[in-house]
Structure 1
């Protein structure tokens, strides 16, 4: 068993060491979401509470952004990092070794998922314990959902990188894959108010379920069946994205 797992663990360790030595990427992963949540807090600082809910505007919008920001950041960083492996020739060399595509993608997924977990933990800690965000449910559930959603961003980033030839092209997938999900996830307009065909599209987007799960935590003190369903769906999207990324992994960039 140890021999079988050795290529996977070696790949995971290599990616983690690369991340540790890339201070700008570490800052992007760990600091930027927390800073953006702080900015959001000051934007809504003087917004009064409504008579219908004890939650402030920061509480309602911020808890949703705790799912969206990790998803965006991890998608972008993972897609660029994987494409960098291709353009530098590292991927070409790795695939001439006994390392399988599954080992490579699993190593990347694990390493970046660990970074995603740290990112979500820091962003949630800053939001709840420093900025005073409140929710009916436990902050621990918010952290779990944010982590799962960030891992989904990792999976989709790895998948998107398979169809890009340069790092710039990897970035260009953001408005194609990420932006529609932000528009249709329920952040801007409740999904029930969308035209029927747009609501149908939103039903097959992972960010929709992440946002819905966070809203469940915001409104309910205990975990609901809907929340568990949403988390399962987002995790399923992440697994499928990683599997498709492995199936479409190319050896050459040209």
Structure 2
């Protein structure tokens, strides 16, 4: 693995994204618009907005980066670009880490804008500080990138890649504690949520909302998110096949 090749891949991906202005506009504006809508739905119950809005700041980056990365990597596979890249000295991890860094940077911009609007314009209130929220948001975004890289190997068309979202993202949203407290779920559902990474992202955000300083639970949740990301990244690497001459 080479740092220079990884950074070159990162630069290439960011250049491609920079030319896709519609995607950039959607990534940057949609989370903020949805938070604004949520704020005015709960205009008389700001305590609910504080709880749900904070969790969504961790869920949005995962969802958007999962979609973008899975489609982008699928295009690389279908167009033959991936085969050409793997015929060069570029290592599989150079490629995957390059993608992860590029989309993590995009997610950091998305999360920063969403947090600025949530705290500055929508009056989101939390006990913890915004820096911790950004750390969690970027962590879930990296996990979303890694998951998208892995699932792209099982799709043949962009439509199929998009169909993985209901299968992978929606169950996690339903069971992470956003809609209903995990403590009130049945035991089988609690056990199922324990193997879903968004459950730990939601719990970490809940810790930020409750405590002024990072807690042991929060750091443990971030560690688990990192382990999930590493596992999916290695799984993605296993799906890449270097062509023999």
TM bucket by the smaller chain?
over 0.9
Report the counterpart of residue 37 of structure 1 in structure 2: 35
Following the alignment from structure 2 to structure 1, what is the Cα–Cα distance between the partners of residues 105 and 45? 38
Following the alignment from structure 1 to structure 2, what is the Cα–Cα distance between the partners of residues 173 and 61? 24
SS in 1 for 2:126: coil
Q: Is the 8 A contact 1:216 1:227 kept in 2?
A: yes
How far is the alpha carbon of 1:250 from its aligned partner?
A: 4.5
Report the counterpart of residue 76 of structure 2 in structure 1: 85
The question of 1:209 aligning with 2:200 is answered yes
How far is the alpha carbon of 1:251 from its aligned partner?
A: 6.3
SS in 2 for 1:226: helix
Q: Is the 8 A contact 2:38 2:53 kept in 1?
A: yes
Bigger helix share = 2
How far is the alpha carbon of 1:211 from its aligned partner?
A: 0.2
The question of 1:122 aligning with 2:113 is answered yes
Report the counterpart of residue 211 of structure 2 in structure 1: 220
Following the alignment from structure 1 to structure 2, what is the Cα–Cα distance between the partners of residues 181 and 212? 13
Report the counterpart of residue 180 of structure 2 in structure 1: 189
Unpaired stretches in structure 2, ≥5 consecutive residues: none
The question of 1:236 aligning with 2:227 is answered yes
Runs of 4+ in 1 over 6 A off after TM superposition: none
Report the counterpart of residue 148 of structure 2 in structure 1: 157
Report the counterpart of residue 105 of structure 1 in structure 2: 96
In the superposition, the TM-score normalised over structure 2's length comes to 0.95
How far is the alpha carbon of 1:28 from its aligned partner?
A: 2.2
In the superposition, the TM-score normalised over structure 1's length comes to 0.92
Report the counterpart of residue 52 of structure 1 in structure 2: none
The question of 1:166 aligning with 2:164 is answered no
Unpaired stretches in structure 1, ≥5 consecutive residues: 50-55
Structure 1, residues 118-168: CA drift from partner, whole Å, max 9, x if none?
111111111011111000111211111111111111111111101111111
